[in-house]
Amino acid sequence: MTQDLSAIGPTPVHFMMKTRLQSEAAIEPDPVHTGPIKKETQIIAIYGKGGIGKSFTLANLSYMMAQQGKKVLLIGCDPKSDTTSLLFGGKACPTIIETSSKKKLAGEAVAIGDVCFKRDGVYAMELGGPEVGRGCGGRGIIHGFETLEKLGFHDWGFDYVLLDFLGDVVCGGFGLPIARDMCQKVIVVGSNDLQSLYVANNVCSAVEYFRKLGGNVGVAGMVINKDDGTGEAAAFAQAAGIPVLSAIPADEDIRRKSASYEIIGRPEGQWGPMFADLASNVATAPPVRPKPLSQDELLGLFAGSAVGRDVVLEPATVFDMMGREDITKPSLEVVYDQA
């Protein structure tokens, strides 16, 4: 026999739930803040091809900013978890994802001191990511930011928050700052090679795409790393309508010190003035709408011999694929009438 559930009235549980929801709905939201703004944090996302020198640039930039009296937070958003390695002299920094998992198994909550560490005034942390083949790096980024929000991310009092993102990974988590207006501006790091500029151009395309959807993030400029003077990166920046914030030369002293986890962005050092200028440019550069290049325009920045622009596409044939000329067989495709 089937019971007519519609004839059953509200249970005590339903009544209690309804009452609780009504009580929550009756609570007035906090009034909109109308007082003076005491502090404004610049949140800046730095993108670039893997291995192009984002971590090197950010470690030295954040160090210089701290020496200039700014309160800076550096957040590594790369599954390799190598953003803070130079800052901490090669020492591994416990990641938020790894720490969160361990704390959860132990029935404990994550605290600031478990995931955030400091050196000479620079605060730094790593979001981390899954091991190869064991999860989605983009989802790891999203989970990491959810944890940061629980730790009070939006109430922290920093002058600058610098986010280090891979630019050649296109899944949603890595585009989070642009898609959700989590930062005010983006900086791209590139060099005088096609692949890094291809990534930089893709980042500009993403920024422009979300601007057309109502987003507010813009590109503040480009840092040219390992600049050998050939000029392709500078030409790209000019064509895309973004400024060059700094050109870090391809210098053996820089390479050697970076490889040994040495900070070169010190005010008293040889390279101090260069990073001081970069810090000033990063702080003041306004976010602008970039003009992404087409594939042909991007290739046009390089000599044809360097990028294979003179190659002609030759269509394959059935004989190429099967070793014989074969008769096309009728398919069993079902064709539906127009609705």
Residues that are catalytic: 49, 54, 80, 168
Q: How far apart are CA 74 and CA 63, in angstroms?
A: 10
Q: How far apart are CA 272 and CA 281, in angstroms?
A: 14
Q: In this structure, are residues 203 and 239 in contact, taking their beta carbons and an 8 Å threshold?
A: no
Q: In this structure, are residues 85 and 55 in contact, taking their beta carbons and an 8 Å threshold?
A: yes
Beta strands 72-76; 185-190: pairing state: unpaired
Q: In this structure, are residues 43 and 183 in contact, taking their beta carbons and an 8 Å threshold?
A: yes
Q: In this structure, are residues 163 and 43 in contact, taking their beta carbons and an 8 Å threshold?
A: yes
Closest CA to 186 of 170, 205, 158: 205
